[in-house]
Amino acid sequence: MSPRVPSSGRLWSVVLAGGEGLRLRPLVERIHADGRPKQYAVIVGNRSLLRQTLDRSGLIVPPERTVVVTTRTHQPFYSAELGGPRAAGPRVIVQPRDRGTAAGVLLPVQWVARQDPHALVAVFPSDHFVGDDFAFTRHVAHLAVVAARHPELIHLLGAEPDGPETGYGWIEPGDELDRAPSGGLRRVVRFWEKPTPETALACMERGGLWNTFVMVARAATLIEAGRRAVPDLSERLSRIAPLIGSDPEAPILDSAYLRTPQANFSADVLAAVPGMLAVSRMPPIGWSDWGTPDRVIATLRSEGISPGWLEELATSA
């Protein structure tokens, strides 16, 4: 059983489901003919990537403390998957348009902080393969307990690299901060988002980790990082967050988002505040960010999983 998060802060879950998944679209279109973004695709088994992420998160966070952030253009897909923004279950926050992962993280976190000022937040992208859901969520639950002891930090989940991959963010761990969770918690010396091949190789040689974009922190700490790194975006989102759930929400959000700047949470926030970051090494559970067709196919083959579409792809090659 996962450990209980200390009473000094309840654990909330933010599930990111607002991106378009353009790099994976050629593969998704082979599986689904309706133009759905990758998070709504059933790539393996009988559940979409979003549903798998929600089920994984649900092992440690109840639906009433789970927030899914999406984009209005995805309405046919999130309505079918979740029942719409006012349905029972996870809270759905619908952005008028995709403004990047910085808004995708900070808007729901601003909303969570208004509901629970002392909240701890676990952020989950909805396009990951996880080989062992229980081991993964147990580690995240342990990390939440540690985050309560180090409330000034954003706690990143780092993955052991198997090569100098330039498509991931890279984390260089520093001094040990805590012996928990398994593998310990370390300060972050440096954070690179999608570095050059030379930088990725050098980071790997120094014991660097891939950034999974799974993180745990106090809502207030994530908001503070946004204020430091992207002050204009953060200030605008702080004005938008109180409107979520109000009757005139849609037109006001439309107007606000027209002037909301585009920003990437890894490149524009995390890389700008390394002193606020800590990293925990994820156990060897079989993990991959399914951002490209090559990565999906390589993962499935390494795990010995062969869905029908993959067999058809091999036959037609």
At residue 40's C-alpha, the angle toward residues 237 and 287, to 5°, is: 90
Read off the pLDDT of each residue in 191-209 and give the average, rounded to a whole number: 92
Q: Which of 175, 173, 172 is nearest to 200 (CA)?
A: 172
Q: How much is the pTM?
A: 0.93
Of all residues in the chain, what percent carry a pLDDT higher than 70? Answer: 93
Kind of pairing between the strands at 185-193 and 169-178: antiparallel
Read off the pLDDT of each residue in 8-19 and give the average, rounded to a whole number: 87
Q: What does the pLDDT look like over 151-169, one tens digit per residue?
A: 999 999 999 998 998 988 9
What dihedral angle (degrees, nearest 10) is formed by the CA atoms of 31, 37, 41, 47? Answer: -170
Q: Is 247 exposed, middle or buried (0-12, 13-18, 19+ CB in 10 A)?
A: exposed
Query: Which uninterrupted H or E stretch holds 101?
Result: helix 101-115
Is 290 in contact with 21 (CB distance < 8 Å)? no
Domains of the chain: 11-159+179-186+211-316 (3.90.550.10)
